[in-house]
Structure 1
Amino acid sequence: MEDSAAVAGLLWDEWLPVGVRRLIAGVLPAGEVDGRRLVVWLAGVHDIGKATPAFACQVEQLADVMRAQGLEMRSGRAMGPDRRLAPHGLAGQVLLGEWLQERQGWAARQTGQFTVAVGGHHGVSPESGQIKALYDHEELLRTPGGSSAVWRQVQTELLDACADVFGVRDRLGSWQAVKLPQPVQVLLTALVIVSDWIASNPDLFPYFPQAAACDGKERLAAAWRGLDLPPAWRAVEPVGDVQEWFASRFGFAPGAQVRPVQEAAVGLAREMDAPGLMVIEAPMGEGKTEAALAVAEVFAARSGAGGVFFALPTMATGNAMFPRLLEWLQQLPDEGGGRHSVHLAHSKAALNETFAGLLAEGGRVAAVDVDAAVPMARGVQEAAGFAGAELVAHAWLRGRKKAMLASFVAGTVDQLLFAGLKSRHLALRHLAVAGKVVVIDEAHAYDTYMSVYLDRVLAWLGAYRVPVVVLSATLPAARRWQLVEAYAGMPGTEPESVAGEVAYPLLTAVAPGGRPVVRQPAASARGTDVRVERLADGLDVLADRLETELADGGCVLVVRNTVKRVLETARVLRERFGEQDVTVAHSCFVDVDRAAKDSDLLRRFGPPGRATGRPGGRHIVVASQVAEQSLDVDFDLLVSDLCPVDLLLQRMGRLHRHQRGEGQAQRPVRLRTARCLLAGADWDTPVPVAVRGSVAVYGAYALLRSAAVLLPHLDGQPVRLPADISPLVQGAYGLAPVGPQEWAPALEEARERFEQHRADQAERAAVFRLGDVGRAGRPLFGWVAAGVGDADDTRAGRAQVRDSRESLEVVVVQRRADGTLATLPWLDADSKGRRRSGLDLPREQIPASFTARTAASCGLRLPIQFSYAETMDRAIAELEQLHVQAWQHKDSPWLAGQLILALDEDCQTQLAGFALRYSPLDGLEVTRV
């Protein structure tokens, strides 16, 4: 009890962000003094439920000692299954409630909002039915008969002592009238959990200190030194010239100027009465990331936020953002001691070399995380380029449930959506986001299913007064309004001011409970006119056209909507242009090859001055949607399948992205005008018909409306970027009729299917979605009832917050002719020059750590064919036949529990009725046997 309470006090003083302390203190009569006392007291009493027969009977030897003192109890066996009705968290909640009523004179209805922090300290707040069931079995709390009074006396003595020792005796009377908002109840629960976990760590608080051990204060000080948690960030709002501020943070090249959108975003953040939600809509390449980080500094300084969470749509975008976040952190003023805890939040973060280097540096901390899911890697700190930085991937903050408590996090949006999923230890996720500025990138990329979770999370973030920055290049106006409404909760506010706004670029801001403010910054001087042409959907047609277009050389990006079309297209183009002039990029590469692909694309097609290998002749990149985001690549010509118009505009952002000479003079003459050839549809029918794969991915309605708003541009009018972005997006996603009259029946039929699909998504997503914020004073009983259990960043966990089937992930190795296993034969050396290809993977012993990590870096998510129930079950059964017992050891975390897919020496195999072929050039190809 003393350890937990003492830890809670230090967490309040040293670690908890100012904004979280303000939120708790703001509802209590004596403010911060009451806030600290309440947190310390709840942490101190949280295990009072262990002073019950139902708990104490578990160890007969110790129970006998208690019986000798008059605390009679039956044995655990004699109690039978009824013991399960009294888990010690629930028992503690009931005992504390009784004490508040009987000893402090509280009304029964007032106690639950405080005691729920005790009842929920194991991750799930009790439900009303559980509370009633325990009251019906009072013998679990106090053995009936003469011993009952002894039990009650001991329980009362402990709670009386806690009230005195933790300084709340004279405060409880004034707290009777308080109505704790539900967000405050969540934060109190989370702080009790964190305090309990730290105080329960025997490396920090030994069970049996030696006789000469230090006193309580020294014991606590030693534990806190061993834990060595970096303090919360204390942002200082920059003052003065925005140009100088941006140059100091983001390393502007000589002569570079802050863009109008960036300056306007900072200005609006400074003007707001209180930090809240800001939606930044601006073209690709306008520096929205830098604007978001700058706004985050202003918001953090004014709100007391202690960090930033940057949420991105994919692991690839998360990996790309992580070093940018670290670079920005290194330029911040040295506040709070200059040490910051950082985290890369996705399931394969430990394979990221930058993050692995920080993990190795953070490994010096004494605490041991038994829940750790992220293996430690060592020896790559210098290679990661952050050897001198005070950025710590802290040992205690590793693991599935604690990692998001780090101050600065880049990761997938799933980690944010999990805050809206009823799951065990949800309070910890809420504590993690409640103390940060949250940045949501690529907001247009989230479908209805994900948006159901995102909107509920935004409602809670608004209740926590968490500042949020939403970034999008192409956001439908109706979706903008939904985001603002979800966050601010504005009953009676007319949406026209937000949803009807079509200006571009556009800033929209609102404080929690406030009214929205709209700003229309000027666009930067940069702009591109893109001519869009129909292209018949034939591979020979495409090859012929590219032969003409590339007569004088040039770099072309061909974007297909399915991996199957990527591979079919690449095969034909290689026959025509040669293998060396065609590159393939899609999602079905093993992780290490995918990362190498991204690096290679940036090296060859990145910005002038940074890309060193741009082809001097002709080259064609055939890619799936992986080319839409995160990669700063620049091509002379774009060929795209028909897709939703916002995604087409993203693809156009890879066309003439940078200036290459005066008037693009460094590009081939034929390609100095930006052009997009639109394929993937039959354009000769009365109503265009998209290819089957595209319809399966996007639906006919979005494709038809996209084609309809593009008609004027297909008939000669160029798409002006950025001026036409908003009109095209609002037209495609609005409710007004579009397209010729003869398209109307097809559009209406497609709309009905789309609406049905969207309603189905919303209904399915709502099953496990967290409830809305309840009224102040209402206890969080049953807060996560009927939830999903633990919400982890696993294939099953991600499937809960994304409308996707559970995917199957494997580690790909090679089986040699003699039956031995090895890492893939084409892998390049690592950053230290160590060979990674063809390393032996012995089955009779644990592989060396470097070898195991190399194998794990070849993870692959199998395509959708393996996500259907029967096929998945069959595939898992076949994969489990290659079960290497030696690899399941706790000292081999890289391969333990992984499904291993072994390719033969020709890189082929069969699985669940499909033939699989893999190559580092084309990735995975799957055909039915």
Structure 2
Amino acid sequence: MGELGVSGLLARLGGPARSVWAKHDRDGGGWLPLWRHLEDCAAVAGLLWDEWVPASVRGLIAGALPGGEADARALVVWLAGVHDIGKATPAFACQVDELAEVMRDQGLVMRSAAAMGPDRRLAPHGLAGQVLLGEWLEERHGWAAGRTGPFTVAVGGHHGVPPEHGQIKALYEHEELLRTPGPGGRVWRAVQGELLDACAERFGVGERLGGWGAVRLPQPVQVLLTAVVIVSDWIASNPDLFPYVPDAASCGEEDRLAAAWRGLDLPEPWQAQEPPAAVQELFAARFDLPGGARVRPVQEAAVELAREMDRPGLMVIEAPMGEGKTEAALAVAEVFATRSGAGGVFFALPTMATGNAMFPRLLDWLERLPGVRGERRSVHLAHSKAALNEDFVDLMARGGRVAAVGVDEEAGVSGRVADGRRRAGADLVAHAWLRGRKKAMLASFVAGTIDQLLFAGLKSRHLALRHLAVAGKVVVIDEAHAYDTYMSVYLDRVLSWLGAYRVPVVVLSATLPAGRRRELVAAYAGTPPEPAAGELPADDAEPDTCAYPLLTAVAPGGAPVVRRPQASGRGTAVEVERFDDGLEVLADRLEAELADGGCVLVVRNTVRRVLETARVLRERFGDGDVTVAHSAFVDVDRAEKDADLLRRFGPPGRASGRPGRRHIVVASQVAEQSLDVDFDLLVSDLCPVDLLLQRMGRLHRHQRGDGQCERPQRLRQARCLLTGTDWTTDVPAPVRGSLAVYGRYPLLRSAAVLLPHLHSQVQRPVRLPADISTLVQGAYGVAPVGPPGWKAAVEEARLQFEEYRGDQAERAAVFRLGDVGRAGRPLFGWVAAGVGDADDSRTGRAQVRDSRESLEVVVVQRRSDGSLATLPWLKPDRRGRQRGGLELPQDQVPTPLAARTAASCGLRLPLQFSYAQTMDRAIAELEQLYVPAWQGKHSPWLADQLILALDEDCQTQLAGFSLHYSPLDGLEAVRADGAGTR
């Protein structure tokens, strides 16, 4: 801290250079000289480098420079110290008349902003600074013109978008924006050179610049340098930390910096420690292993393979459901972090619900992790509704003094923690400065949706920050099979950049097609998608491609290798039966199956089929014996549903409320992912075989007594009734809703590979896990499957499917980031023709997912007197505070509790409301309920939200639909013609 003393830049500058201004408070009249802001920013960059930037990032930058770590630190500090040199130009300085007049008095002649006119927009100060710095490197240090760009782009891009070649050319054609024409221009040139000379001397790079001129900076290094400069600038531009004090004598620089750094109080990155050598000891120390339980072979092999790799890279773990892949990934992450210098972990999951489910597991792991336990570390839940998650709210309450919009009203005042164990363990905080859509991923430990990772492949503003966030972590990608072609286009590009950053990555899947595995490995390694060492050629019919469980590992630029650990010995044989689609037929069958009790899971492919099925089953079995679970519940009800399912149908010893008689859960695809639930019988609509296997993973998932003797006698054999299809036709005919969701081709191939298990005379059970890979590779391979009579139908479906996938890939590529360019090629135009800002909103998610932009509303209730209130059935929160029926006054700001409770009742409207005409009409109708008192900063929980008000019968009309909501069944939307929710 002391090396940047008070003598600093000021002592090296004359009057004209001292007069250049950088910051101006239009409200308070305060201002900051340019030299002061450059000192602040350079000082912050040095502290960030020393105390916050992970070792893996420092190592990558250092590896590109001749002087290693010393050069890297000097470069970062210098670039931060010159980042705003473009403010020493007429185009910038003319903006504030009184400050421009002071500069004119020092000989820096300039026209007024009005006189410059619209041309001034051609010289934003970032671009101007890039040009000035490039000229200075050429003229003063003899750099070749083509070598300056990779260094100067950090200056040009420090406001989030690296300049494009056309912008650079246009500025060169308007030199008057950089310095006044004529004799006055000599003063400008002298001041610009004086500032840059002083910065080079002040920040210790004068002797280094000659050697750096021959360096060809790799593009990943350019990105990281730009990102560190951005973070430094943001911190140094915060007037609460660095007040606008133009008088140099009024504060010492060391005191100014020390006070700011204390105020910011950033947690340091994780420094992983070597985990125990014995894998059993490692797992016992990190996870809740049942008494006497042994580490499973997949887990042990994954850790051993991580240790055997020459350097950390990508590991794909394919193993059955319930085999502990999450724990294996965290253990591998610990090994990878120790060897790579990664400063944290990002766990990417398919949905907000799965992210919420992972978050407490991540916290539990962190509590036991050396290098975290007893230390202060930043943690974040990264999705748009994170502030409604109770675990995250507890962390936010401990996260510092800086307010986060929409959060501190409720979370920042209590200071409560989740429980005594967390109070005594690691000091995990959701740091206030690291909140927000552009900074959240910079926290050390993050659980969030896959969208946050895919955004790193989307051309958008401040993309460099997203890259810095992932470059310093181990990245874990869960449920890799769940991402379609559109998302995979982004994922593969992100993996190519992660490989270039040497970021360790762990990919998890129970059911990953061999071709997709090869694509993931190739994207990361930067090689063609070829078989791994020891794997047979890329013919999906070859038996070795069906090895399972399977570990595949590759280092950046290396050749992949595989390991084939044994299965754990846990297995289930599932008898699969074709079953008619009639609802009464289903009710009759379940009545017979449940004669002695039991728990049944019925999985439908659409919400509409869920509700239709539940309605018929309730008529037969009664309301109390049928539960509904799907995505069309308000957020708080959805979370309560998941918790209730885990409480009743979770693992033995943890679940406390398993029905003793009979019960039926009718669910949509929400039952496929991340819920550790266990049923006696499964009924499923036909779906792609990998997803069907995920559903089967909820069947006899746990041992219940010797030989499953604790299950009803007729349900001790695991069985799956496969329906949602007309099996009597020459070629199976899936129901229309399933075709709309999945497409005909994946469904027909799924049915084809299942045929050997469906023949009633020679029925062969599906053996889990033994048959998983064979079924998946068969369904997703290219070899013909199914009877000869299916051939024409399958081929027609394939052509349609390939056309659809091609369209997906083409549309996804429009805003996809380019591949890693050659070393020495500057990042000019890196995000050209991009999407602007990207965030975790419904619009942002639609950019990386092939889904229509959906309407999301906040659901409240309108009472008979016209007043608004929160939904009446909501349960109290963790503190015992009542949440149901809280008043939401329309003439004033609701209480923080009422506003937050209302916000927790967000709901995504069904697909019907995503079509343009219906969406426009729905928005127009929803905007009629506009409450001025709730807008702006008055009520950040409810500002700008679309409010859907239900009457006292929980009904309303919207855009030609009748809507009805209940806490039992969720939302049902019916058009005038009777068509229901998809």
Q: TM-score, normalised by structure 2?
A: 0.93
Q: Which residue of 1 aligns with 2:962?
A: 915
> What are the residue-to-residue correspondences of 1:329-478 with 2, within 5 Å?
329-334=366-371, 338-364=375-401, 367=402, 376-379=411-414, 381-383=416-418, 386-388=422-424, 389-478=426-515
- Whether 1:853 and 2:880 are equivalent positions in the alignment is no
Please tell me whether residue 550 in structure 1 is matched to residue 587 in structure 2. no
Tell me how far apart the structure 2 counterparts of residues 669 and 370 of structure 1 sit (CA, whole Å): 56
Aligned residue among 842, 845, 861 for 2:889? 842
Structure 2 counterpart of 1:226: 263
Tell which deviates more after alignment, 198-207 or 232-241: 232-241
Q: Which runs of 5+ in 1 are unaligned?
A: none
Number of the residue aligned with 1:664: 708
**Following the alignment from structure 1 to structure 2, what is the Cα–Cα distance between the partners of residues 568 and 526?**
36
Q: What is aligned with 1:733?
A: 780
Verify the 8 A CA contact 2:580 2:725 in the aligned structure 1. yes
**Selected match of 2:123 from 69, 72, 86:** 86
* CA pair 121-378 structure 1, distance change in 2 beyond 3 A: same
Determine if the alignment matches structure 1 residue 816 to structure 2 residue 863: yes
Distance 1:371 1:204 in 2: 22
1:43–1:212 CA distance, 2 compared to 1 (3 A): closer
Change (3 A) 1:336 1:112: farther
Q: Is 2:552–2:561's contact at 8 Å kept on the other side of the alignment?
A: yes
Question: Percent sequence identity over matched residues?
Answer: 80
For residues 608-646 of structure 1, what are the alpha-carbon distances to aligned partners after superposition, in whole Å with 9 as ceiling and x for unaligned? 111111001010000000000111000000000000000
Q: How does 1:796-815 map to 2 (within 5 A)?
A: 796-815=843-862
1:744 to 779, 791, 804: 791
d(CA) in 1 for partners of 2:120 and 2:370? 55
Which of 39, 44, 47 is the equivalent residue of 2:81?
44
Q: Is the 8 A contact 1:375 1:894 kept in 2?
A: no
Alignment-mate amino acid for residue 138 of structure 1: E
Distance 1:492 1:279 in 2: 14
Match of residue 13 from structure 2: none
Distance in structure 2 (CA, Å) of the matches to 1:214 and 1:269: 52
Deviation at 1:753, TM superposition (A): 0.3
| Stretch of structure 1 that moved more, 310-319 or 327-336 | 327-336
What SS class does the counterpart of residue 261 from structure 1 fall into?
A: helix
Partner AA of 1:584 in structure 2: V
Q: Which runs of 5+ in 2 are unaligned?
A: 1-37, 540-544, 977-982
On the 8 A contact 1:369/1:398 being kept in 2, the answer is: yes
Whether the 8 Å contact between 1:627 and 1:651 is mirrored in structure 2 is yes
| Residue aligning to 1:698 | 742
Establish whether residue 561 from structure 1 lines up as the match of residue 605 from structure 2.
Answer: yes
Alpha-carbon spacing, 1:698–1:335, altered in 2? closer, same or farther (3 Å) = closer
The structure 2 residue matched to 1:631, chosen from 663, 675, 689, is 675
Matches within 5 A, 1:152-171: 152-171=189-208
Asked if 1:707 corresponds to 2:742, the answer is no
DSSP-derived class of the 2:577 partner? strand
- 1:875 aligned to 2:910? no
Is the CA contact (8 Å cut-off) linking 2:530 and 2:538 kept in structure 1?
Answer: no
For residue 29 of structure 1, report the CA deviation from its aligned partner: 0.6
Equivalent residue number for residue 534 of structure 1: 578
Structure-2 separation of matches of 1:390 and 1:190: 27
Q: CA deviation at 1:62?
A: 1.0
Counterpart of 1:545, as a letter, is R
- CA 1:802/1:486 → structure 2, altered by over 3 Å: closer, same or farther? same
Deviation at 1:889, TM superposition (A): 3.3
Q: State how far apart, in whole Å, the 2-side matches of 1:378 and 1:632 are.
A: 35
Indicate the residue corresponding to 1:681 in structure 2. Answer: 725
Q: TM-score, normalised by structure 1?
A: 0.98
Match for residue 591 of structure 1?
A: 635
User: 2:517 aligns to what SS in structure 1?
Assistant: helix
Deviation for aligned residue 1:830: 1.0
Q: Following the alignment from structure 1 to structure 2, what is the Cα–Cα distance between the partners of residues 478 and 126?
A: 38
Tell me the SS of whatever aligns to 2:432.
coil
Deviation at residue 372 of structure 1 after TM alignment: 8.6
CA offsets per residue over residues 189-209 of structure 1, 9 Å max, x none? 000000000001111111128
CA positional deviation for 1:383? 4.0
The partner residue of 1:259 within 280, 293, 296 is 296
Name the SS for the 1:410 alignment partner.
strand
Cα distance change on mapping 1:928 and 1:92 into 2, 3 Å: same
1:441 CA displacement: 0.1
1:798-841 deviations in whole A, cap 9, x for unaligned? 00000000010000000011100000011111111111111110
Distance in 1 (CA, whole Å) between partners of 2:529 and 2:733 is 42
Is 1:234–1:336's contact at 8 Å kept on the other side of the alignment?
no
CA distance in structure 2 between the partners assigned to 1:359 and 1:731 by the alignment: 48
Task: Say whether residues 1:143 and 2:164 are aligned partners.
Answer: no
Farther-moved stretch of structure 1 (470-479 vs 243-252): 243-252
Which residue does 1:613 correspond to in 2?
657
Q: Distance in 2 between matches of 1:814 and 1:925?
A: 16
Secondary structure in 1 matching 2:546: coil
CA distance in 2 between partners of 1:685 and 1:127 (Å): 59
Separation of aligned partners in 2, 1:211 and 1:100 = 29
CA shift, 1:374, in A, is: 11
The CA RMSD over aligned residues, in Å, is 1.5
What residue number does 2:26 align with?
Answer: none
* Residue 780 of structure 1: aligned partner: 827
Aligned equivalents of 1:703 and 1:734: distance in 2? 14
Distance (Å, rounded) in 2 between the aligned partners of 1:219 and 1:369? 24
Q: What SS is found at the alignment partner of 1:439?
A: strand
Q: Deviations over 1:660-683 (max 9, x none)?
A: 000000000010000000000000
| Partner Cα separation in structure 1 for residue 416 and residue 511 of structure 2 | 38
SS of equivalent to 1:382: coil
**Cross-structure match for 1:924:** 971
**Equivalence for 1:195:** 232
2:282 match: 245
C-alpha displacement at 1:381, in angstroms? 3.1
2:945 pairs with 868, 879, 898, which one?
A: 898
1:439-495 alpha-carbon deviations (Å, 9 max, x no partner): 000000000000000000000000000000000000000000000000001259556
TM-superposed deviation, 1:69: 1.1
Q: Which amino acid aligns with 1:843?
A: Q
SS at structure 1 position matched to 2:191: helix
* Cα distance in structure 2, aligned partners of 1:726 and 1:486: 22
* CA distance in 2 between partners of 1:922 and 1:143 (Å): 71
Over 3 Å counting, the alpha-carbon distance change for 1:767 and 1:178 in structure 2 is: same
Tell me if the contact between 1:811 and 1:855 (Cα under 8 Å) persists in the aligned partners.
Answer: yes
Q: Which amino acid aligns with 1:252?
A: L
Amino acid paired to 1:34: D
* 2:691 alignment counterpart: 647
Whole-Å separation in 2 of the counterparts to 1:503 and 1:657: 22
3-state SS of paired residue (2:949): strand
Indicate the SS of the match to 2:627: strand
Q: Which residue of 1 aligns with 2:252?
A: 215
The letter for the 2-side match of 1:379 is S
After the TM superposition, which of the residue ranges 406-415 and 492-501 deviates more from structure 2?
Answer: 492-501
Q: What SS is found at the alignment partner of 1:310?
A: strand
Structure 1 distance, partners of 2:341, 2:189, is 43
- TM-aligned CA deviation for residue 499 of structure 1: 4.8
Indicate how the Cα distance of structure 1 residues 164 and 456 shifts in structure 2: closer, same or farther if over 3 A, else same.
same
Residue aligning to 2:318 = 281
User: Structure 1 384/683 Cα, relative in aligned 2: closer, same or farther at 3 Å?
Assistant: farther
Deviation at 1:338, TM superposition (A): 1.5
